[in-house]
Amino acid sequence: MSAPHLRYAGAPHDRQVRALEEITRASPRLMQVLVALRGLDLPDWWIVSGAIYNSVWNALTGRADMYGVKDIDLFYFDPDTSFEAEDRVIGRVSAATPGAPPVETRNQARVHLWFEAHFGHARAPLASSVEAIGHFASRTHAVALRLEADDSLSLHAPYGLDDIFSFRLVPNTAMPSRETHTAKAARQQALWPELEFVPWPGDVPAQKSAQKGDQR
C-alpha cells in the first residue's frame, strides 16, 4: 500500500485537478490573494509555482498552511516593459494583499531584460505569462492558477499534475537550468523529505546529495 501522502499519485488527471482545487480553496492565504488579484484585473495574471505545489505537499503531509512558502509568485503580462510601470503594479498588489507570505510580482514581458544578469544566460522575449510557466527549471513547478469572475479556478499545468502529487522533482530541459533545478531540489527536500529528486539528464542518479542549499 502506498504512503498516505501519495494517495493521488497516478490518479486520473481530472481527479488530481479536483484535489488541487480542494486544497487551494482550503488555504486561507491562497484564497485571500486570489480574490484580491481578481479585483485588480491585471493582464494575463496567474499565481504560479511554489505557493501552489507547496500547498499540495503541506496538505497531503499534514503540515501547516503556507509552511515553507517564502512568497507567492504572481505573473502578469503588460507590453509596457518600463521599470516604472512594473513598480506601480507591485505597489498596487502589495497594498491589496497584506499579510504573509508576501506576493512577489513580475511582469513577464520584461523578463528578458534582466534574465541574463540573474541566471547567467540570455533568453528571448516572452509572448505571454503562460509561455513563461512552461520554462520553469523543474517540470513539477510548472503550475498556475487564476480565480475567475464566476469563482471558478482556471488551471495551467503544461506538464500535468502527477509529478506534484507523486512528490517527484523532475527537470525541465526547455532551458539550460541544471543548477537552478538542483538548488531548488536541495531546499525543498530539506523541507519536504518525502520528495524524490530526479537529476538533470547526464548527472549521477540518486542525488539525495542535493540536500542543503539555497533557493527561492
Contact (Cβ atoms closer than 8 angstroms) between residue 60 and residue 4: yes
* Average pLDDT score over residue span 81-109: 96
Q: What are 22-76's pLDDT values in tens digits? A: 999 999 999 999 999 999 999 999 999 999 999 999 999 999 999 999 999 999 9
Model confidence at 209, pLDDT cuts 50, 70, 90, reads very low
**pLDDT, tens digit, 9 for 90 and up, residues 137-194:** 899 999 999 999 999 999 999 999 999 999 999 998 777 677 778 888 899 999 999 9
pLDDT band at 126, cuts 50/70/90?
Answer: confident
Please report where in the chains the cell 538548488 appears, as a residue.
183
Looking at residue 82, its pLDDT comes to: 95
| DSSP for 50-107, written as a single string | HHHHHHHHHHHHTPPTTTT---EEEEE--S---HHHHHHHHHHHHHHS-SSSPEEEEE
Give the CATH architecture of domain 4-159: 2-Layer Sandwich (3.30)
Residue tagged 484535489 (cell numbers): 19
Domain ranges of the chain: 4-159
pLDDT class for 211, splitting at 50, 70, 90?
A: very low
